[in-house]
């Protein structure tokens, strides 16, 4: 999460979903079953009737939900096996396409979408200037870039994140978003697992063995409290000179 150098496309290795896509699917199903994150996003940047990009879409878990009300949805993903998986998932949806690309290189025209969404998007943070510039290019005036990530300052889950990533500095990440003109809010959620085995599998792909074992020990049941951050930056609308004249 703290490393924003990535490869020459700015792509950050994502071992959880790259190596264990089936367990990551379990994780996505467990996350926030009441939809608090979707609700906050809808309040701040509703996509109904609009054109949206989900960048770093992984296996496309969120694409169908966006397609329920959006005019069109484009998933963009750099990792080829996940591009294929996302295409398989949304093949039956006419308004959804999945393209190979990255936050810094989105294969779509200038000013062609209203919302760029990036979820559990550790490729947005200090060092991701190219992704912000690219998002501003593809957005229409007034459109929004929405970055959603886990908040390492809250609950046991945050403590495990910090234990697993000793160089990660949440305050530095948050200061970066403030300095780049993003609004910020925090969203409290629960992750609910069907059973202990599922919870343990997910903790096992999110953390190294030592922290995963600690997380399993410190979790009595099948629910975790997890807080998210939602950061939004809007592309300015052009100022109409006529409207400034008295």
Ligand X SMILES: C[S@@+](CC[C@H](N)C(=O)[O-])C[C@H]1O[C@@H](n2cnc3c(N)ncnc32)[C@H](O)[C@@H]1O
User: Is residue 189 involved in binding ligand X (CB under 6 A)?
Assistant: no
State the minimum distance, in angstroms, from the CB of residue 57 to ligand X: 6
Task: Using the Cα atoms of residue 29, residue 32, residue 33 and residue 37 in order, give the sign of their dihedral.
Answer: negative
Which of 37, 70, 82, 90 contacts ligand X by CB under 6 A?
82
State the minimum distance, in angstroms, from the CB of residue 141 to ligand X: 24
Which of 51, 73, 79, 135 contacts ligand X by CB under 6 A?
79
User: Is residue 6 involved in binding ligand X (CB under 6 A)?
Assistant: yes
State the minimum distance, in angstroms, from the CB of residue 59 to ligand X: 7
User: Is residue 74 involved in binding ligand X (CB under 6 A)?
Assistant: no
Q: Which region, judged by CB under 6 A, interacts with ligand X, from 13-21, 87-95, 170-178, 204-212?
A: 13-21
Could you tell me the end-to-end alpha-carbon distance of the chain, in angstroms, rounded to an integer? 50
User: Is residue 120 involved in binding ligand X (CB under 6 A)?
Assistant: yes
State the minimum distance, in angstroms, from the CB of residue 80 to ligand X: 10
State the minimum distance, in angstroms, from the CB of residue 123 to ligand X: 4
Q: Which region, judged by CB under 6 A, interacts with ligand X, from 5-13, 32-40, 175-183, 236-244?
A: 5-13
Distance CA 100, CA 79 (A): 8
Q: Which of residues 121-150 bind ligand X (CB under 6 A)?
A: 123
Give the tokens for residue 78: 């750099």
Distance CA 78, CA 95 (A): 21
In 201-240, which positions are buried (b, 16+ CB within 10 angstroms) versus exposed (e)? bbbbbbbeeebbebbeeebeebebebbbbbbbbbbeeeee
Distance CA 162, CA 136 (A): 31
Distance CA 157, CA 216 (A): 11
- Of 113, 163, 151, 165, the closest CA to residue 135 belongs to 113
State the minimum distance, in angstroms, from the CB of residue 4 to ligand X: 9
Q: Which residues bind ligand X (CB under 6 A)?
A: 6, 10-12, 14, 16-17, 28, 55-58, 61-62, 77-79, 82, 102-103, 119-120, 123
């Amino acid at each position: 999460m703290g490393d924003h150098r990535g490869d020459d496309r700015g792509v950050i290795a994502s071992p959880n979903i790259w190596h264990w896509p089936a367990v990551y699917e379990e994780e996505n199903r467990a996350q926030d079953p009441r939809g608090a994150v979707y609700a906050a996003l809808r309040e701040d940047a509703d996509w109904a009737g609009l054109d949206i990009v989900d960048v770093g879409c992984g296996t496309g878990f969120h694409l169908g939900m966006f397609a329920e009300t959006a005019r069109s949805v484009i998933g963009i993903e750099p990792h080829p096996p996940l591009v294929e998986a996302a295409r398989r998932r949304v093949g039956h949806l006419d308004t959804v396409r999945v393209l190979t690309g990255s936050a810094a290189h989105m294969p779509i025209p200038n000013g062609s979408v209203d919302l760029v969404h990036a979820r559990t998007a550790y490729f947005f943070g200090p060092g991701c200037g190219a992704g912000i510039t690219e998002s501003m290019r593809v957005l229409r005036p007034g459109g929004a870039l929405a970055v959603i990530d886990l908040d390492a300052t809250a609950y046991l889950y945050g403590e495990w994140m910090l234990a697993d990533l000793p160089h990660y500095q949440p305050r530095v990440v948050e200061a970066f978003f403030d300095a780049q003109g993003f609004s910020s809010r925090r969203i409290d959620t629960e992750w609910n697992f069907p059973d202990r085995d599922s919870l343990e599998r997910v903790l096992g792909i999110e953390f190294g063995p030592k922290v995963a074992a600690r997380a399993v020990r410190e979790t009595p049941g099948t629910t975790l409290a997890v807080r998210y951050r939602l950061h939004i930056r809007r592309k300015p609308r052009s100022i109409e000179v006529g409207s400034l004249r008295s």
